[in-house]
């Protein structure tokens, strides 16, 4: 069943072995039956609230500011609007996968949608984490080097960075577009939307792309930037004790840190199980219990990853004042 992980399914050879794995692992069929019944409804709920929340965020970010001379987004808003757009595109693919799960991974939408939906979801996996890195870098630059991080040129740089991130996400999803296909799996009596790797070396390439380029390297950058952000805020707090008000930019920074923490909590389980799946694919671990643990873990980790697209709009409202300010400016 690992071949049907929503974000990055595995090659078909494992799915053909699934029945023997399932029958040899006590209790596994019940777990999969529960997943088939329960998970699609949760995925649809995530899709609904993700669409509603991210459309609302984009709408209010892009509303003209009535009381300002220049109707321009701030630097932070440029990045956050792009993150909301990425989340919106991401959740658009979820109804297809909800139906896929409810149909016991029998893909009913044809090869073209198999490739498009999977590729779009994969692209936005990279786009989201690269945007989180860019957002962290922007806060780092604003707080640590405030005198060199102002003005029109920096706004244009933010727009160019977002464009580069979207292009990079598209390029990194090309293997998914090319290698995804609908294949009949006779042992399971389904036609599954799966990755068909032409060579075993693709397992290593996928691990490097997904786990290292798509998570661990960005995670290192995020930790670096946010460590210095927190250090800068501590220094500003000490300096502001004799003044009224808090550190400059602390509200926006609090929002950014909350977004980063939410992203890491939601996505870390997926990358953990994706790495375990790599070990299964290269036969570094082979016992049935590990395979089934990885298969089921990937499905649950996908669910937590999906939740992130719903949490971000809530964070904009409850952890930061950017969206509140924009709504107030529009209606007052």
pLDDT tens-digit readout, 197-239: 887 788 788 888 888 998 899 989 988 988 888 887 777 666 6
Picking from 325, 321, 318, the residue whose alpha carbon sits closest to that of residue 250 is 321
| 9-13, 47-51, 203-207, 289-293: which is most confident | 47-51
Of 8-17, 110-119, 230-239, 246-255, the least confident: 8-17
Helices 28-62 and 322-331: crossing angle in degrees, nearest 10, is 50
CA dist 23 and 18 (Å) reads: 9
> How many distinct structural domains can be found in the chain?
1
What sign has the CA pseudo-torsion 87, 225, 159, 122?
negative
The structure tokens listed for 116 are: 């498009």
Asked if residues 76 and 138 have their Cβ atoms less than 8 Å apart, the reply is: yes
Q: What value does the mean pLDDT take over residues 253-272?
A: 82
- pLDDT of residue 296 exceeding 60, the answer is yes
How much of the chain, in percent, has pLDDT values that exceed 90? 15
What is the Cα Rg of the chain in Å?
22
- pLDDT of residue 82 exceeding 70, the answer is yes
CA dist 310 and 161 (Å) reads: 24
Q: Is residue 241 part of a domain?
A: no
pLDDT tens-digit readout, 171-198: 999 998 998 989 988 877 888 898 888 8
Q: Is residue 243 part of a domain?
A: no
Of 1-10, 61-70, 233-242, 244-253, the least confident: 1-10
At residue 307, the pLDDT reads 87
Q: Is residue 242 part of a domain?
A: no
pLDDT tens-digit readout, 138-160: 888 887 776 665 555 578 889 99
At residue 22, the pLDDT reads 37
Which position has the higher pLDDT, 115 or 3? 115
Specify the CATH number for the domain of residue 120: 1.20.1070.10
The structure tokens listed for 321 are: 């004042």
Q: How confident is the model at residue 274 (pLDDT cuts 50, 70, 90)?
A: confident
At residue 12, the pLDDT reads 35
At residue 236, the pLDDT reads 67
- Neighbouring residues of 176: CB distance < 8 A, sequence distance ≥ 6: 8, 115, 118, 119, 122, 195
Q: Is residue 81 part of a domain?
A: yes
By CB neighbour count within 10 A (0-12 exposed, 13-18 middle, 19+ buried), where does 242 fall?
A: exposed
Asked if residues 11 and 281 have their Cβ atoms less than 8 Å apart, the reply is: yes
At residue 174, the pLDDT reads 92
Long-range interactions of 162-167: CB distance < 8 A, separation 24+: 162/78, 162/79, 162/82, 162/131, 162/134, 165/82, 165/127, 165/130, 165/131, 165/134, 166/82, 166/127
Buried b (16+ CB within 10 A) or exposed e, 123-143: bbbbbbbbbbbbbbbbbbbbb
Picking from 270, 292, 278, the residue whose alpha carbon sits closest to that of residue 17 is 292
CA dist 230 and 147 (Å) reads: 19
pLDDT tens-digit readout, 234-262: 776 666 655 555 555 556 667 777 878 88
Q: How many helices (H) and strands (E) does the chain have?
A: 12, 2
Q: Is residue 233 part of a domain?
A: no
Q: What is the mean pLDDT of the chain?
A: 78
Q: How confident is the model at residue 169 (pLDDT cuts 50, 70, 90)?
A: very high
Q: Is residue 235 part of a domain?
A: no
Q: What value does the mean pLDDT take over residues 93-98?
A: 89
Q: Is residue 238 part of a domain?
A: no
Q: Is residue 193 part of a domain?
A: yes
Q: What value does the mean pLDDT take over residues 104-118?
A: 91
Asked if residues 204 and 138 have their Cβ atoms less than 8 Å apart, the reply is: no
Q: 193: domain range?
A: 2-228+248-331
DSSP assignment string, 159-199: HHHHHHHHHHHHHHTHHHHHHEEEEEETTTTEEEEEE--SS
How much of the chain, in percent, has pLDDT values that exceed 70? 76
Q: How confident is the model at residue 23 (pLDDT cuts 50, 70, 90)?
A: very low
């Amino acid at each position: 069943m690992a071949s049907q992980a929503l974000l990055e399914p595995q090659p078909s050879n494992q799915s053909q072995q699934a029945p023997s794995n399932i029958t040899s692992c006590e209790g596994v069929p019940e777990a999969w039956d529960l997943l088939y019944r329960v998970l699609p409804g949760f995925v649809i709920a995530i899709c609904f609230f993700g669409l509603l929340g991210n459309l609302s965020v984009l709408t209010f970010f892009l509303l003209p500011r009535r009381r300002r001379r220049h109707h321009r987004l701030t630097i932070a808003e440029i990045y956050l609007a792009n993150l909301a757009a990425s989340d919106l595109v991401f959740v658009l693919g979820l109804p297809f996968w909800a139906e896929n799960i409810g149909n016991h991974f029998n893909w009913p939408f044809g090869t073209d949608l198999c490739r498009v939906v999977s590729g779009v979801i994969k692209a936005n996996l990279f786009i989201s984490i690269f945007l989180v890195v860019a957002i962290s870098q922007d806060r780092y630059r604003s707080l640590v080097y405030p005198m060199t991080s102002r003005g029109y040129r920096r706004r244009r740089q933010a727009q160019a960075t977002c464009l580069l991130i979207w292009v990079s996400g598209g390029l990194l999803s090309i293997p998914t577009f090319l290698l995804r296909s609908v294949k009949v799996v006779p042992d399971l009596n389904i036609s599954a939307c799966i990755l068909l790797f032409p060579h075993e070396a693709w397992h290593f390439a996928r691990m490097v792309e997904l786990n290292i380029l798509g998570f661990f390297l960005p995670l290192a950058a995020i930790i670096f930037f946010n460590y210095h952000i927190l250090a800068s805020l501590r220094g500003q707090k000490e300096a502001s004790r004799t003044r009224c008000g808090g550190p400059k930019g602390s509200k926006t920074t609090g929002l950014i840190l909350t977004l980063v923490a939410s992203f890491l909590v939601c996505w870390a389980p997926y990358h953990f199980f994706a790495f375990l799946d790599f070990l299964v694919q290269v036969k570094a671990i082979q016992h049935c219990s590990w395979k089934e643990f990885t298969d089921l873990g990937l499905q649950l980790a996908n669910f937590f990853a999906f939740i992130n697209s719903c949490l971000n709009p809530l964070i904009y409202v409850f952890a930061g004042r950017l969206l509140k300010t924009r709504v107030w400016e529009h209606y007052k």
